[in-house]
Every structure is written in C-alpha cells, then in structure tokens.
C-alpha cells in the first residue's frame, strides 16, 4: 500500500511543480517554501517502503531541488539563491513560531496539546542538522547546476538535472546522517544507503518531467 501512495505522491509533487511554474515564479517559490516546512515537519515520521524503514520526506527533498533547478534554468542563479533563502527563512520561522505556540497552556478540555508537543518539539540537534544541511546542499546544487548549464551550453536539460540532483542528494543524505544521527543510531551507513536508494527512485521517476517545463515556459 505504501508503495502505491509513494508513487502517487511523486506524481502529485511533479504536477504541483508544473502548475506552479505555469502560474509564475512566485507560486513556484511558495511551493518550495511549503515543501520545506513539510519536509522538516515529517522528517521524524518513518514508514515501511519496499520492505525497508525510511523517512517520509525524501520525495520532498528531491522535489524542492527540482523546483530550484527550474528557477535557475529559466529565471537565473540569483533568483534561485533568493528562493533558497526565502524557503530557509520560512522553515526557521515555522519551527520558532510552532514552539512558541506550544508555550500556551492548554484548556482543560484540550486533547491535542500533547500530540502537538510530540510533533513540534524536535531535538535541537536534528533541527540544526536539517537547516544547515539544507543551506549547504542547496547552494552546492545551485553552483553545480550552473556549471553544468554553462558546460553543456544549455542543452540536455533532463540529463543535467539527473547529474546535479543525484550528486546533491548524495551529499544531502551523507551530511544529514552524520550531523543529525551519528552517535544516536548504531550505524549511519544503512540509513545512508536506504535513504539514497529511495531518493534515486524519486529522481528517476520525476526528472524526465523537466522536459515539460520548456513547453510551459515557451507558452508563457
């Protein structure tokens, strides 16, 4: 069942990216911000996928990077880097404001407070690791994608995205695993292998749809 939901999730994210691009740059940045918040919110949820235990946010990580590559492809590196900072600020603000919300004493009849505490009270190490990894990886991808675009003179859009996202998500997986999980789990190696394998499934299924972005931009 999870496998079918996972596939549907990927295609919903791709459809949302294409619709946002059709609406315009602000919708695309807004979508990236929403996905960044969701990625940090659901990073603690684990699921069983293809018989393996993984987090439920790998699809968001790849989709965010696809969105940033689309921005850099059609609106320039400066706009992509601005989108990185906007989404980073959105994620940071959501964490701070969410924890402020937890400071309110619940009413006697409230039955949700304990659940919100469980969801929103992240370990500081996980939060710092997630935000730091996000900035490093997204900036690294922006530079690498820009180099690939220049190297191939703007050709091979899908191939360039395969290369940049595959490399960047490997960095993302390794960096977050060591910063956030090393010393907490028995070994980070299985986590890195499984998480990256799941991300590669998303990359292989989602990246070909980048070809459709050319048609949308051409129409606009």
Of the candidates 23, 134, 132, 126, the one whose C-alpha atom is nearest the C-alpha of residue 68 is 134
* 28-83 residue pLDDT tens: 999 999 999 998 888 778 888 888 778 778 899 999 999 999 999 999 999 999 99
Share of the chain above pLDDT 90, in %: 51
Q: Provide CB contacts within 8 A for 66, sequence distance 6+.
A: 14, 17, 161, 165, 206, 207, 210
**Per-residue pLDDT at 140:** 92
Q: Provide CB contacts within 8 A for 39, sequence distance 6+.
A: 57, 60, 61, 64, 91
* 127-157 residue pLDDT tens: 788 889 999 999 999 999 999 999 998 889 9
Q: pLDDT higher for 27 or 215?
A: 27
Question: pTM of the entire structure?
Answer: 0.89
Mean pLDDT, residues 184-200 taken together: 83
| Among 35-44, 102-111, 180-189, the least confident range | 180-189
């Amino acid at each position: 069942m999870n496998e079918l939901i996972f596939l549907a999730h990927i295609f919903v994210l791709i459809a949302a990216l294409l619709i946002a691009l059709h609406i315009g740059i602000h919708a695309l940045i807004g979508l990236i911000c929403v996905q960044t918040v969701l990625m940090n919110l659901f990073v603690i949820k684990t699921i069983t996928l293809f018989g393996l235990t993984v987090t439920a946010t790998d699809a968001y990580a790849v989709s965010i990077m696809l969105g940033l590559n689309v921005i850099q492809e059609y609106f320039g590196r400066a706009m992509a880097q601005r989108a990185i900072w906007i989404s980073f600020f959105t994620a940071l603000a959501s964490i701070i404001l969410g924890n402020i919300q937890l400071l309110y004493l619940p009413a006697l009849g409230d039955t949700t407070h304990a659940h919100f505490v469980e969801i929103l009270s992240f370990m500081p190490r996980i939060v710092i690791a997630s935000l730091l990894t996000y900035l490093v990886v997204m900036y690294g991808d922006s530079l690498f994608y820009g180099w690939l675009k220049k190297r191939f003179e703007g050709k091979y859009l899908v191939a360039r995205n395969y290369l940049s996202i595959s490399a960047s998500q490997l960095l993302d997986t390794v960096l977050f695993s060591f910063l956030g999980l090393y010393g907490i789990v028995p070994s980070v190696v299985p986590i890195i292998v499984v998480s990256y394998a799941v991300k590669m499934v998303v990359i292989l299924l989602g990246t070909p749809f980048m070809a459709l972005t050319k048609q949308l931009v051409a129409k606009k």
